[in-house]
Structures are given as C-alpha cells and as structure tokens.
Amino acid sequence: MNQPVPAPRPVPPDDLRNDDSVPVDTAGAQPLADGANDPQPAPGAEAPAPAPTAPAPAPSAAPKTIKPSRTAVIAMLLVALVGVLLILWAWRLGPFATAHERTDNAYVRGQITVLAPQVSGHVAEVLVHDFQRVAAGQLLVRIDDRVYLEKVHAAEAQLASAQAQLANFGQTQAQNQATLGSRRATLLAAQAEAQRAQTDLKRADDLAARGSVSLRERDQARATFESAQANVRKARADITIAEQAIKSTTVSRAGLQAQVQAAEAQLGLAKIDLANTEVRAPRAGQLSEVGVRLGQYVTAGSQLLFLVPDTLWVVANFKETQTAHMHVGQHARFTVDALSGETLTGRVTEIAPATGSEFSVLRSDNATGNFTKVVQRLPVRIQLDPGQALAARLRPGMSVVAEVDTASDAGSQAPQVPSAEPSTANAPLPGTAGQPTASPPAAVTPTESRDAPKATDAPDASGVAAPVSASDGSPAPAPAPATSAAAPTAGGSR
C-alpha cells in the first residue's frame, strides 16, 4: 500500500529568519544533536536515506616532490649526448675532426664555346641537329656565299689592274732612261758644234782684221757660234728634264707597289669572308640545342649554338677556414648527384688567387659602419683522374659534393737535389703554414767551407780531415752524418 505523504512543516518567513535585528537569547540554549533541526517525517512514513557527508578537510601540508625515474634520466642524457655528437659531426669538431675538407658548394665546369658567324647573311644550310656529337673542323652551318664570292672576283680584278700598272711603269722607266741617253748624246754634239763655231769665228776675226774676208762673213761666223752655244744650253736643259722624269717615275713605282699590296690585302680579306660563310666546330664535343633555322638572316656575332667540349673539371668553393692546409697536388674525390652517389677521383690543380667576392660586380663596403663577418669562399679547381668510365656522363653545371684530403702530399713536390744555388722548392705553398715538411740532408759546399773563418781541417786517425778549433786546438764536436759525408768534398776542393 502506498503511504500518504506527510504535509511539510511551516517555515518561518525569510524576513524573520534572516533578520539580525531580532534579539535572540542563546544563553540557556543547549546544543542540539545532529539532525535535530532536520524535518521529521510523518508518523508511519519511511525514513529517508541519510545524505552523504563531505569528508573533513585534511590539515594543510607541503606539496609532494615528483622525482624522475632512473630510466627517464638515462633517456634524457642519451638524447643530449646524441645531439652533441650530431653537432660535432656536422661541424667536424672534436673526435670527428679529420684531414678531409668537404663542401657541397661545387659544380662541374667546362669551356663551353659559343659558335657565332663572322659574316652576315642568310643561312643556306644547317648540317647538324640538337645534341649531336661533332668532330673538330666539322661543317655545322653554311651561309649564302654568292655575295662574298663576287667580292673575291672584284678584288682579283683590282689586283690585276694594279699589277698591270706596275708592269707599265717598267716600260715607262726604260723609255725615260733611253731619252736621257739621247739627250746626253745631243749635248755632246752641240758642244762639238759650238767648239767648231768658236774656231771659225776666231779665224774670221783674224782674216777680217787683215782684210781677207768681208765683215759679212765674220758676222755670219759669229752668229753660227752663238747658235751653237744656244744648242748646248738646250741640250743641257733637255738632260735635266729627262732626269726629273726618271725621278718622278721612281716615286710612282713606290705608289704602284703599294697599290698592288693593297689589292692583295683586299683579295685576302674577301677570301677570308668567303671562308667564314662556313661555320665549323673548333674542337670535338657535343652540341647544345640548335637555335638557327634554314633561311634565317644572321648577323656577325649572333649566337647560333653552343659546343660543350669533352674536357671537364670541378670547381669547389671551400670556406676560407677549410683551405689552411690545402695546396696543389692533393687527392680529391667527389660524388655527383646525377650519378646516384657514385664516387670519382681527382687532384687539386689550381687554387683561386682571390675569393669569389673580390670578382663580384658590386662588392660590399665594410667601412660604412655596419659590419657583419661572413666566411668567404675560395674556388678550388679539381682535375679528374684519367681512365674513369663515369667521367663521360658528367655535364657542365652538375652539382657535386667534393672532398679534399689535406693530409695527402703525393705528387705535390718535386724531388730535391742538393745544390749550392738558393732553391725555393721547399718553400711552403699558400695555406700550408704549420705543416711539417721534409728537408733534404744538409751538405757542406765549397762556399760554406771557405766562409768558415774559425775552423781548420786536421786529419784524424782515419785520414779524413776533421774540424779543429782554431782557438785552443781541441777537436770540435763530430759533425752530423749528412754533413760529414760532404766534408771530404769541401776539404778537397780547398
């Protein structure tokens, strides 16, 4: 059966229950037991379940410190150690420091030739295609040569004309020489006639003085003498004219010879232009994409195509801090990205005379007040070793990773020969300061023994001259084996 729900007990109004102004006498009040003020259920009703009580707050205490486990500590130490090792390995420091200097700022290089015509004209024939391999001297492109062929013919005609004028000059010169000889003969005849006329005039004067001849005959003889003298003067003038003609023709000969030489030069230039209508390969190699087309008008110097030679090398841009012990002749190796990590070998053949920034168009000015130190790079040329099959697959511009063994000295120095002349063979190369270098055994030369003023040679028990001190006569310390081997030569030369 359902039990009836008891009616709730009346609750005092809030204004009276919460009014603090009403005095309450609590002097004789007794504390009520827990639940005394709770509403009581009606008789016969089931007692409600007791409400859960909140746990009493614990007294305040210090926060607990969490200690990492031993496994976590070891893991963190291992991670830190691996990080440090990676940094040392990346920068080649500490235990990873080696004599191999490595850089990925390296590329394959080659002397790519730009093929361009030396004359202008329409392209008459294209004899090659893209990426074709060609031999040295092979014909690649032909330009229309009709205009240049006619220029050759015109130059040949001009040369023939100049040569004809020079040949005609020879005949003129011979004619002038003959004329001069004739004028000289005429002068001799005129002089003889004048001599005869002078004699006749003298005889006529004598006869006229004695009255043997008339005055008319005397005057006629005088006129004949004066005419003969005039003929002599005329003959001399003709000789002068002939001599001037010869001089004039001599000067003209030099001009005609110059004209012949100029015509020959013009003919040579015309033949060169005619030959330049054929564009040929200057060396063996492989062509790039052929950009010239049949019938295209090209001018002198315009790019037609590129020729890539078979001779290639590697240019590696090392940091300046990496070139301290790097010099010519050291072994090198490199990997090419296009060859899936295959390794090729070579040798250092050249080191650039300046860093790459020195050859730039716009160099930075570090005297402006703002300065940031940047590690410069020095280009190093690496020549490939012969006999490598993979070298045929290299192309200029490929990226490579180069590595130079700075501890290798094989082939970098020539054998040393002892000589009295000063030698610079053992001088340190740029960037090799601080490295031990092998020096040849010291040898005493005649010049060195002659320049030693405080030592004299005295034979020892073996008969070999030994150095003796000049001050007290005591024997000097025994020389080194290399020096003693050369001492007999020095003593004998003296």
What is the average per-residue pLDDT within 292-317? 93
Q: Does 342 share its domain with 402?
A: yes
pLDDT-wise least confident of 65-74, 318-327, 423-432? 423-432
Task: Indicate whether 40 pLDDT > 70.
Answer: no
Q: Look at 93 and 42; give whichever has higher pLDDT.
A: 93
Task: Indicate whether 359 pLDDT > 60.
Answer: yes
Q: Does 351 share its domain with 387?
A: yes
Q: Does 190 share its domain with 158?
A: yes
Task: Indicate whether 91 pLDDT > 90.
Answer: no
Taking residue 399's Cβ as centre, other Cβ atoms within 10 Å add up to 13
Task: Indicate whether 173 pLDDT > 70.
Answer: yes
pLDDT tens-digit readout, 410-426? 444 433 433 433 444 34
pLDDT given at position 144: 95
Q: Do 327 and 382 contact (CB within 8 A), yes or no?
A: no
pLDDT given at position 260: 92
pLDDT given at position 55: 56
Exposed / middle / buried, residue 222 (Cβ in 10 Å: 0-12, 13-18, 19+): middle
Q: Does 286 share its domain with 262?
A: no
Q: Does 168 share its domain with 246?
A: yes
CATH code for the domain in which residue 222 is found: 1.10.287.620
Task: Indicate whether 427 pLDDT > 50.
Answer: no
Range of the domain at 131: 120-144+277-298
pLDDT band at 229 (very low <50, low <70, confident <90, very high): confident
pLDDT given at position 19: 45
pLDDT band at 7 (very low <50, low <70, confident <90, very high): low
Task: Indicate whether 14 pLDDT > 70.
Answer: no
pLDDT given at position 36: 45
Which residues sit opposite 95 in a β-bridge?
A: none
Task: Indicate whether 461 pLDDT > 70.
Answer: no
pLDDT band at 5 (very low <50, low <70, confident <90, very high): low
pLDDT tens-digit readout, 175-196? 878 888 888 888 888 888 888 8
Q: Does 159 share its domain with 271?
A: yes
Is the residue at 63 inside a domain? no
pLDDT given at position 384: 94
Q: Does 138 share its domain with 283?
A: yes
pLDDT tens-digit readout, 278-288? 999 999 999 99
Residue 202's alpha-carbon distances to 190, 192, 193, in angstroms, are 18, 16, 14
Q: Does 153 share its domain with 271?
A: yes
Q: Do 110 and 288 contact (CB within 8 A), yes or no?
A: no
Is the residue at 9 inside a domain? no
Q: Does 197 share its domain with 264?
A: yes
CATH code for the domain in which residue 392 is found: 2.40.30.170
Can you give the pTM of this predicted structure?
A: 0.51
Q: What integer best gives the mean pLDDT of the chain? A: 75
Is the residue at 72 inside a domain? no
pLDDT given at position 34: 46
Element (H, E) at 447: helix 446-450
**Single residue among 409, 432, 453 that ends a domain in this structure:** 409
Is the residue at 1 inside a domain? no
Q: Does 155 share its domain with 201?
A: yes
pLDDT band at 3 (very low <50, low <70, confident <90, very high): low
What is the average per-residue pLDDT within 156-171? 86
pLDDT given at position 176: 79
**What CA–CA distance (Å, rounded) separates 444 from 441?**
10
Is the residue at 164 inside a domain? yes
CATH code for the domain in which residue 289 is found: 2.40.50.100
Q: Does 381 share its domain with 239?
A: no
SS3 459: strand
Among 14-18, 204-208, 487-491, the range of highest mean pLDDT: 204-208
Is the residue at 208 inside a domain? yes
Q: Does 223 share its domain with 257?
A: yes
Task: Indicate whether 99 pLDDT > 90.
Answer: no
Is the residue at 7 inside a domain? no
pLDDT tens-digit readout, 316-336? 999 998 888 898 999 999 999
pLDDT-wise least confident of 63-67, 277-281, 407-411, 481-485? 481-485
Place of tokens 């301290």: 324
Number of domains, the chain: 3
Is the residue at 433 inside a domain? no
